[in-house]
Chain A
Amino acid sequence: MSRSYLPHWMHWLGSPPNFYRFAGALRPWLMTVALVSAAVGLYGGLVLAPPDYQQGDAYRIIFIHVPSAWMSLFIYATMAVAGLVALVWRVKLAEVIAMECAPTGAAFTLITLLTGSLWGKPMWGTWWTWDARLTSELVLFFLYLGVIGLYNAFEDRRRGARAASLLALVGIVNLPIIHYSVQWWNTLHQGTTVDFLDPARSSIAPAMLWPLLVMALATHLYFFASLLGRTRTGLLSLESGKQWVRVLVDGQPAPTTGAPT
């Protein structure tokens, strides 16, 4: 299939060695800004923000729980979009990006579940309950594990990536279920705290909101830095037979003596 309608820079970036170098240059900057904003956000959340009038200091889990929950959805959407590109245009880079999203997405989903549990115990009196929000988030975790497992089940890595991309696309129906679960069903989980579409409906004080948003920024930047690193590693192993990888890893090109003269 022709991709000539794409702008030149996308062609350039879609080439594995170019993306490898680009990602390597960008990644340290993203991680630096992520760490600085995480430090600012945690200082705001753990030191500057006052205790909650109902929940005391237990609410401070929000500054990692909610950004992680947002990331669990955002990374899934990123994975599904990359998976769609991989399935429709068979772009190798998109396959790698889709598959390398999954471990970080699973990590943030696990953080969401565990920190939620640690928050639920003092507030609800239970570590876990099978309500809509918690169950749909657990399903998301299993979807990530399913994508990782399916990808690794194939001998041919590229076929595995396409099969797992299809699973990722099917699983996208879970995203609106998670988001609206607190409205559609009676649930122990508290309702929407931050409403981006209608800020007036947000039920959070400014002193608590800004650290939350800074932490959200930090986790997004961290994800991009992590994804670039993972994609670099994924490209190396997928292209291990290629000259650019051999030169990069070994410092010298492959021997050509096997070729007929």
Chain B
Amino acid sequence: MGGYAIYVWPAYAVFLIVLAWDWVAPALRRRRFARELRGKLARERTRATRAPRAEAST
């Protein structure tokens, strides 16, 4: 790289690292969301089977 390697390669590293973050971040957000929603739905189901009238009375 003719003496410029210490500038060129870090620039390419920045490009790859920032875009890798951009790609991975929504996937992690999506997994967290799915896990939370599954937990919420599971709780709703157990509540519904144990005390069917509980929600109507409150």
Q: Enumerate chain A interface residues (CB-CB to B < 8 A).
A: 51, 56-58, 60-61, 64-65, 68, 100, 103-104, 107, 110-111, 114-115, 118-119, 121-122, 222, 226, 229-230, 232-233, 236-237, 240, 245-246, 249-250, 254-255, 257-258, 260
Nearest CB of A to B26, in Å: 5
Proximity bits, B17-58, A CB within 8 Å = 1, else 0: 011011101110110011001100100110011001001100
A-B contact pairs, 18 of them (CB 8 A): A57-B2, A58-B4, A61-B11, A103-B22, A107-B22, A110-B18, A111-B14, A114-B14, A115-B15, A118-B8, A226-B22, A229-B23, A229-B27, A233-B27, A255-B45, A257-B49, A257-B52, A258-B55
Tell me the complex Cα distance, A121–B10, Å: 13
Tell me the complex Cα distance, A119–B6, Å: 10
Is the pair A61, B26 in contact by a Cβ cutoff of 8 Å? no
Tell me the complex Cα distance, A61–B38, Å: 46
Is the pair A222, B14 in contact by a Cβ cutoff of 8 Å? no
Rank and list the top 3 A-B pairs by shortest CB-CB distance, nearest first: A58-B4, A57-B2, A115-B11
Contacts of A230 in B (CB 8 A): 26
Further pairs besides A240-B37, A246-B37: 6, Cβ < 8 Å: A60-B1, A61-B7, A115-B11, A118-B11, A119-B7, A249-B41
Q: Is the interface of B mostly helix, strand, loop or mixed?
A: helix
Residue of B nearest to A225 (CB): B23
A118-B10 contact in complex given A103-B22, A258-B48, C-beta closer than 8 Å = yes
A64-B26 contact in complex given A107-B21, A222-B19, A246-B41, C-beta closer than 8 Å = no
Contacts of A229 in B (CB 8 A): 23, 26-27
Q: Which of B2, B21, B37, B52 touches A249 (beta carbons < 8 Å)?
A: B37
Tell me the complex Cα distance, A254–B56, Å: 17
Nearest CB of A to B32, in Å: 10
Nearest CB of B to A235, in Å: 10
Is the pair A118, B19 in contact by a Cβ cutoff of 8 Å? no
Is the pair A114, B11 in contact by a Cβ cutoff of 8 Å? yes
Q: Which of B7, B22, B37, B45 touches A58 (beta carbons < 8 Å)?
A: B7
Tell me the complex Cα distance, A247–B12, Å: 42
Is the pair B8, A58 in contact by a Cβ cutoff of 8 Å? yes
Is the pair A245, B37 in contact by a Cβ cutoff of 8 Å? yes
Residue of A nearest to B20 (CB): A107
Contacts of A107 in B (CB 8 A): 18-19, 21-22
